[in-house]
Structure 1
Amino acid sequence: MLDAAQSLLEERGLEGFTLRECARRAGVSHAAPAHHFGDVAGLLTAFAAAGFRRLSSLMRAYREAAPDLPEAQLRAVGLAYIDFAVGHRAQFQLMFRYDRLSPDHAELEQAGREAAGHLSETLAGALAARGLPGEGSDFDRRLVLAWSAVHGFATLLLEGRLNGWRGRRSVSGYAAHMGDEILAVLEVALLAPQAAAPANRRVRRRTA
């Protein structure tokens, strides 16, 4: 059923996804999807959870293949994220469509935490190597920046918004080249000395 879901999503997208067509492609009865997953959201949630597990496995593989240096480990996780998005577009895009999923599903939450843990762990390790804390509000800001950068680049690339820069290069080729360059620039910001968060100040207007 999950293989059929992937095939259908890649071909028709979320708008064309139905349990009946998914069952037909899987070669099971029309009632089988509802029996195992409950409804469309249940099946899509299972597929999204499988995506997070696949992403986590790819991050682990990239980390194991990278040099045993904090910065190299951090960059490996970022490249794994981008490569997963390019290689599994339909699944990647679904994983963050909580309007179509069951967001409180325990399996989905666990798989998402495991994948996020790779980024958190490698960033904390890289910061520790520079004597910077791997927790607290400053760490949270850096973590959000790291995730936003790789997710934003992958999304823009998949949506064709970078075609002007990509030119005739393949999506995967451009992702590997530009993704590495972006991560190199991002690394400077992520591992810079700790800076205090700007205070929220109200601008007072002068009255006559």
Structure 2
Amino acid sequence: MTSDHGTKSASRNTYHHGDLRQAVLAAALDTIAAEGPGALSLRDLARRAGVSHAAPAHHFKDRTGLLTAIAVQGYGLLAEALAGAPGLRERGVRYVRFAAAHPAHFQVMFRPELLRADDPDLLAAKERASAELRAGVADLPDVPDARTAGIAAWSLAHGFATLLLTHNVAEAIGDRDPEEYFRSLAGLLFTAQLPPRDGE
């Protein structure tokens, strides 16, 4: 699976203000999707973007700054994906959908050793995504420990998304829609804990 944020190499004098930052981010996402975050090099990204090797450092300072910017972007996309989902199970489905659509972001976001942990933009983006995750648990009635229930639900969605991206459940899923497969998993584990819907 590859990121949909590809970019083409371009002459440095074709860039307008702000375009370079996005071009470097797009090139970085392509590299991560193909080879993992360990393959990132600011010098290589500058070459691919057709700019001087110092240009990416102007926007991101260093590799950690670039990875942090990717994580910030990823948490923002995740929060948008989760917003308004009808219930905890559908938030899980949207979490899996996000991971499948943005595999490079997903690889970076949950690797604190790669990031600048005290970056204010990162902290704000993480809190926004976390609030959307917590909102799904808040909708459940009679949950004695909402925090633990939230961790359980997150573990299921994150674990399944990780297995999906690393092709470890391809045989089990077969030709089924991964999102529908996840719904069935969530049903097996959580339906017994939830009150029946009207008419059930």
In structure 1, the gaps of 5 or more residues are 64-71, 193-208
In structure 2, the gaps of 5 or more residues are 1-23, 196-200
Residues 11 and 4 of structure 1: CA distance in aligned 2, closer, same or farther (over 3 Å): same
Give the equivalent residue in structure 2 for 1:182: 185
Judge conservation of contact 2:71–2:122 (CA < 8 Å) in 1: yes
Residues 32 and 156 of structure 1: CA distance in aligned 2, closer, same or farther (over 3 Å): same
How big is the shift at 1:102?
1.2
Give the equivalent residue in structure 2 for 1:122: 136
C-alpha distance in structure 2 between counterparts of 1:117 and 1:15, whole Å? 30
SS at match of 1:126: coil
RMSD: 1.9
How big is the shift at 1:190?
5.6
- Between 1:174-183 and 1:79-88, the stretch displaced more is 174-183
Moved over 6 A (4+): none
1:145 paired with 2:152, answer yes
Matches within 5 A, 1:88-167: 88-127=102-141, 132=142, 138-167=145-174
Judge conservation of contact 1:142–1:190 (CA < 8 Å) in 2: no
Give the equivalent residue in structure 2 for 1:4: 27
Deviation per CA, 1:40-71: give whole Å up to 9, x if none: 000010011100101111112x62xxxxxxxx
What is the aligned-residue identity percentage?
38
TM-score under structure 2 length normalisation: 0.78
1:48 paired with 2:71, answer yes
C-alpha distance in structure 1 between counterparts of 2:40 and 2:192, whole Å? 41
Give the equivalent residue in structure 2 for 1:33: 56
Residues 124 and 12 of structure 1: CA distance in aligned 2, closer, same or farther (over 3 Å): same
Deviation per CA, 1:145-203: give whole Å up to 9, x if none: 01111001111121222123123x2xxx54212111122234336647xxxxxxxxxxx
C-alpha distance in structure 2 between counterparts of 1:100 and 1:7, whole Å? 17
C-alpha distance in structure 2 between counterparts of 1:80 and 1:141, whole Å? 20
Residue identity in the other structure for 1:175:
P
C-alpha distance in structure 1 between counterparts of 2:192 and 2:148, whole Å? 11
Residue identity in the other structure for 1:76:
E
